[in-house]
Structure 1
Amino acid sequence: MERLVAVAQQLMPTRSQRTREAILRAARMHFAADGYQRSTIRAIAATASIDPSMVMRYFGSKEQLFDAALDVDLGLPDLTGTPMERLPQELITHFLAPWEDDLDEGSMRLLLRCAATNERAAEHLRRMLHEQFTSSLRGALGPERADACSGVLAAQLLGVAFTRYVLRLRPIADLPVAALADLVAPSLRTVLAAE
């Protein structure tokens, strides 16, 4: 019984983790709504229902908090062994998954919005997309081809994400992910097949 309690306690987020997540949620909300310059530690702390000194304790500075709020793992898997004809659908489906789970205006939308107006966010987005796309595709395409394709693929998929999740343009916003993947796959296939 004690062992089960110990395991359950390990699985439950600690108070510290909950506080950190509350700060990040509040920061993402403020950065997305007000931008980096106009967002204040005091306002973020008020939204998270904590003292402003706690924000500094957890993150050190507004810049470090901003970086943490922008830290996004796209969840792109290693696509080694994926047949070339299935590669576009797999890439689209995995790329859109975190956006589908990010319906509360979280880090994915924040990253897109902030990258449009903040050079620090834009650089973060460029680096993250290049690293994660290249890493995901390296085993399927080889390192040089993955490196060459990652920017064009990221541009296409960011366009889809912006249209679907920020602009909410119909019918793209209303399509099931699988149907959207089938529509977008031919253009990705062209990039993947280009020499």
Structure 2
Amino acid sequence: MSESTPAGRPRRSDTTRTAILAAARERFAADGYERATIRAIAKDANIDPSMVMRYYGNKEGLFAATVAVDLKLPDLGTLTRQDVGRALVTHFLDMWEDNEVLTALLRVGATNQAGAERMQGIFRDQVLPVTRQVCPDPEQVPARAALVATQLLGLALTRYVLRLPPVVALHPQEIVAWLAPTVQRYLTAPSP
């Protein structure tokens, strides 16, 4: 809900923000994160580039504000307990392979507070509930979900951002075979 002026009209800043976000979504979708520029986004929104900087700080902050990410996580409660690690790693690997937005968001999250907050929100809203479905101890859900995130985000960082040759060279099935047992242990093993 946006604030309104006493006459019931939306505030000019709300209108400007809406225009910036709409232009940014279109520009990021058309050009990708790397090629999209603040200047082009501002031009599309019919505003001065300084206004984009005023509201969002920089390109990374703007990107984080525009990105809506639905991980479409599988319902782990429908799987046998021994299959959850494999299902989760396979799902994440499939998503990273086909989604440039996730790679860009990972880059932004590693270098920008707004991006980090967006990643934390995705973790809180999407990963924690899935972990809750299979974790044997409800008090350990946050720690176990965080450990899963270390593996999956570490894979994404090394394969799609840093592009470490040995990781890039691995076939997806090999990655699942190596990583799934670790993720499985984090999710369902008894406490150490």
Q: State the TM-score, normalizing by the size of structure 2.
A: 0.68
Change (3 A) 1:174 1:69: farther
State, as a whole percentage, how many aligned pairs show the same letter. 34
8 Å CA contact 1:23–1:45 kept in 2: the answer is no
Out of 119, 122, 133, the residue aligned to residue 125 of structure 1 is 119
Q: Tell me which of 22, 28, 46 is aligned to 1:24.
A: 28
Q: How many residue pairs end up in the alignment? A: 160
SS for the counterpart of 2:167 is coil
How many Å apart are 1:151 and its aligned residue?
0.8
Q: What is the SS of the residue equivalent to 2:182?
A: helix
Query: C-alpha displacement at 1:62, in angstroms?
Result: 4.3
- Contact 2:23 2:45 survives alignment (8 Å): no
Q: Say yes or no: does 1:137 pair with 2:131.
A: yes
Structure 1 unaligned spans of 5+: 1-17, 32-38, 56-60
Other-structure match for 1:164: 159
Please list every run of at least 4 consecutive aligned residues from structure 1 whose deviation after the TM superposition is greater than 4 angstroms: 18-21, 61-65
Contact 2:64 2:105 in 1 (8 A): no
| Contact 2:24/2:63, CA 8 A, preserved across alignment | no
- Unaligned 5+ runs, structure 2: 1-21, 50-54
Q: Cα 1:119–1:62, aligned 2, differ >3 Å: closer, same or farther?
A: closer
How far apart in 2 are the matches of 1:51 and 1:69? 14
Give matches, 1:1-195, under 5 Å.
22-25=26-29, 26=31, 28-30=33-35, 39-40=37-38, 42-44=39-41, 50=44, 52-53=46-47, 62=56, 65-102=62-99, 106-141=100-135, 143-192=138-187, 193-195=189-191
Q: Distance in 1 between matches of 2:74 and 2:118?
A: 20
In structure 1, how many angstroms separate the alpha carbons of the residues matched to 2:28 and 2:46? 13
In the alignment, the residues of structure 2 paired with residue 24 and residue 194 of structure 1 have an alpha-carbon distance, to the nearest angstrom, of 44
Seen in structure 2, the aligned counterparts of structure 1 residues 111 and 51 have a Cα distance that, compared at 3 Å, is closer
Return the offset for 1:24.
Answer: 3.1
Distance 1:69 1:28 in 2: 11
Change (3 A) 1:138 1:45: same
**Gap change, CA 1:81 and 1:144, over 3 Å in 2:** farther
Aligned counterparts of 2:171 and 2:149: Cα–Cα separation in 1: 20
Cα displacement string for residues 49-104 of structure 1 (whole angstroms, at most 9, x for unaligned residues): x4535x9xxxxx547843343322222122103222211111101112221112xx
Is 1:28–1:110's contact at 8 Å kept on the other side of the alignment?
A: yes
- Structure 2 distance, partners of 1:179, 1:114, is 28
